[in-house]
Amino acid sequence: MTPFDPLFLQALDDLARQDRRRRLHPLSPYLRADFRTPHGKTLLDFSSNDYLGLSRHPLLAERAADAAAREGTGSGSSRLVTGTRDLHERVEARIAALKGKEAALLFASGWQANASVIPALARLSKEQTGATMLVFADRLNHASLHHGCAAAGLSQIRFRHNDLSHLETLLQERAEMPGLKVIATESVFSMDGDRADIPALAALARRYGAFLYVDEAHATGVLGSGGAGLTAGVGDVALSMGTFSKALGGMGAWVAGSRALCDWLLNKASGFVFSTALPPSVLGAADAALDLLPDMDEARATLSRRADWLRAQLADQGYAPTDSSTQIIPVMAGEAGRALELTAFLEDEGILAIAIRPPTVPAGTSRLRISLNAAQSDADTERLAAALARFSTRR
């Protein structure tokens, strides 16, 4: 106990009274798409981002182990010192090809990429134009994009979620202002499961000379030709960010764009310059996932079919409609306490569906964020729908 602990304990009590206190829940992977609790209970996973089930694919485990055995367990330093291996450059070249870009640059996580790339772009604007960068940001962007703007000392110009008419109005109002203009969005929004209109955003970027920055974390692997995401093949997307930690079953992230962009980030993105390079095992798994990705059309089609079916079931059960059109399906609960109640009910039914509460989502929009997994069966999805139906009758 320190003299400061009463402050922490009081703050934690305040969070608990608002149903916002978070706790860790240790889980062990079990079978194809299940977890086990420390008490031995098996839970069917509808919460992780392992959309294609690749985190438990034997090829990823084999290639991760081979890379570690061959090159060691750590990279030893940042990429700019002694941390760059042939495997880093191989994976970067493969990502660039997947995204149809000249180059790519690896980061430790999607958060790190977004949080450090935005300040690097802001520095470019200041140094080369003498003006502060303008960021036009979707209101529902991931927290890492908001953090990147805050770290750069930028006030975001926020447009209503997926409202491109509003975005165009904001662009028109500032068309004559100097400085780099960045449009920042996700392609699939992580808490809502809906999509941005990437071709329409690209057309706006072209019309107003803006730099289009798209976070593809929840689209890559699942959507687009061969799982390449929603930006692949769309011109005027200046930067595509994505991760290996969702559908690709591993860890790490990347930025893909022009060679000049990646070279600038290599020099000025603090999350790249000052961070230890990804280890060989992570790169081995990423390389294996990229081998598997083109041949997973059936898994992607299965995810889409199950998601459509589950959305129809939720509508029939009276759950609030959403704009979800992907493998991410929010079940809206409203208040945080109600979301926690639903999570507990499903856990009793042997289903893992974690409550998402403020500040991750706006107040009054707490939810269960259902994430479908291609390793599951139709019967698993039917089991979830039946449990949600039983809960709805308790209202």
Q: Predicted confidence band at 247 (pLDDT cuts at 50, 70, 90)?
A: very high
For residue range 166-221, list pLDDT tens digits in order: 999 999 999 999 999 999 999 999 999 999 999 999 999 999 999 999 999 999 99
**Is 218 annotated as catalytic?**
yes
The one catalytic residue among 88, 146, 181, 218: 218
215 flagged as catalytic: yes
Catalytic residue among 186, 192, 216, 287: 186
> DSSP of 135-179, one letter per residue?
EEEETT--HHHHHHHHHTTPPPEEE-TT-HHHHHHHHHHTTT--S
Of these residues, 57, 101, 246, 268, which one is catalytic?
A: 246
Q: Active site includes 57?
A: no
Query: Is position 186 annotated as part of the catalytic site?
Result: yes
Task: Please give the Cα distance from 225 to 206 (Å, whole number).
Answer: 23
Is 209 in contact with 176 (CB distance < 8 Å)? no
Residue 255 CB partners (closer than 8 Å, separation 6+): 104, 105, 107, 113, 117, 239, 240, 241, 261, 262, 265
Q: Quick: pLDDT tens for 271-324.
A: 999 999 999 999 999 999 999 999 999 999 999 999 999 999 999 999 999 999
* Active-site pick, 142, 146, 181, 268: 142
- What domains appear along the chain, each with residue ranges and CATH number? 20-52+297-392 (3.90.1150.10), 58-294 (3.40.640.10)
Does the annotation mark 246 as catalytic? yes
CA distance 77 to 88: 13
| Annotated catalytic residue within 34, 45, 47, 49 | 49
Does 142 participate in catalysis according to the annotation?
yes
Considering the candidates 47, 190, 275, 366, report the single residue annotated as catalytic.
190
Is the pLDDT at 395 greater than 60? The verdict is no
Residue 85 pLDDT more than 80? yes
How many other CB atoms sit within 10 Å of the CB of residue 18? 14
Going by their DSSP bridges, the two strands 42-45 and 351-352 should be labelled as parallel
In the block, residue with structure tokens 């009054």: 364
